[in-house]
Chain A
Amino acid sequence: QSALTQPASVSGSPGQSITISCTGTSTDVGIYNLVSWYQQHPGKAPKLMIYEVSKRPSGVSNRFSGSKSGYTASLTISGLQAEDEADYYCCSYAGSITYVFGTGTKVTVL
């Protein structure tokens, strides 16, 4: 059970859109639509942003959206804002009620 692969860093200017990828395998992202995304500011607990690939919890801005194609899930942040600067982690169900997180992506707002 290896960690899902994310880019180490992604950056964008305010107002732009960025996309973070999360690549897994045929035993996790590839066969289950149970991918979630978490935002973590420094020194804080992770916060749920997207679940079940593309569903947004109440209270989360509609600037955050999720999708999946094959073995890769993606999180898109549109209209980038300074407050979006944080670390982002994906997480997938990996069968037998086990889970795997991604390697994490640092988002920088230029």
Chain B
Amino acid sequence: QITLKESGPTLVKPTQTLTLTCTFSGFSLSTSGVGVGWIRQPPGKALEWLALIYWDDDKRYSPSLESRLTITKDTSKNQVVLTMTNMDPVDTATYFCAHRRDRGGPFDPWGQGTLVTVSS
């Protein structure tokens, strides 16, 4: 059974850097094809894809946020870390991580999500 869980601060100040960790079980990021993605959802709004990292360390970012995002993996710890710089109140959202079985596969399953509020 694949499970994922997001962790990180619930409150960050404007201009600070956000660091979120996705800890997973039931699969390995050293398995060919496998990936983990990050998706966010502002309160009452739609989902927005942020970033992806694959087993071979291939990394992809949303073009609109690429300059602010970094995604890394620690295969030994079964973790994926997302950092987002220069946080702004519009970045207030629930941040989800999700498993991908291959580059063409869907996001499945998802973690429960973690709400991050950006406020001074």
> Which residues on A are within 8 Å of B, measured CB to CB?
1, 3, 34, 36, 38, 45-48, 51-52, 57, 89, 91, 93, 96-104
Contacts and interface: CB of A to CB of B under 8 A. Distances in A.
A97 B106 contact: no
Nearest to B48: A101
A46 B47 contact: yes
Size range of the chain B interface in the assembly: 20 to 34
B15 interface: no
11 contacts: A3-B46, A38-B107, A46-B47, A47-B109, A48-B106, A91-B47, A91-B106, A97-B58, A97-B60, A98-B62, A101-B46
B108 A98 contact: no
Interface string B73-116: 00000000000000000000000100000011111111111000
Contacts, number: 64
A1 B106 contact: no
B46 A48 contact: no
Interface of B: 37, 39, 45-49, 52, 58, 60-64, 96, 103-113
Nearest to A96: B60
A14 B10 CA distance: 39
Contact of B47 (A48, A51, A101): A101
Contacts of A48: 106-109
B33 to A, nearest CB: 12
B49 A101 contact: yes
A46 B95 CA distance: 12
B46 A103 contact: yes
Given A48-B109, A91-B49, 7 more contacts: A45-B110, A46-B47, A48-B107, A98-B49, A98-B61, A98-B63, A101-B48
Nearest to A89: B47
Q: Which 10 A-B pairs have the closest CB atoms?
A: A51-B106, A36-B106, A48-B108, A45-B110, A101-B47, A99-B49, A104-B46, A97-B60, A103-B46, A89-B47
A1 B64 contact: yes
Nearest to B37: A99
Contacts of B48: 3, 101
A93 B103 CA distance: 10
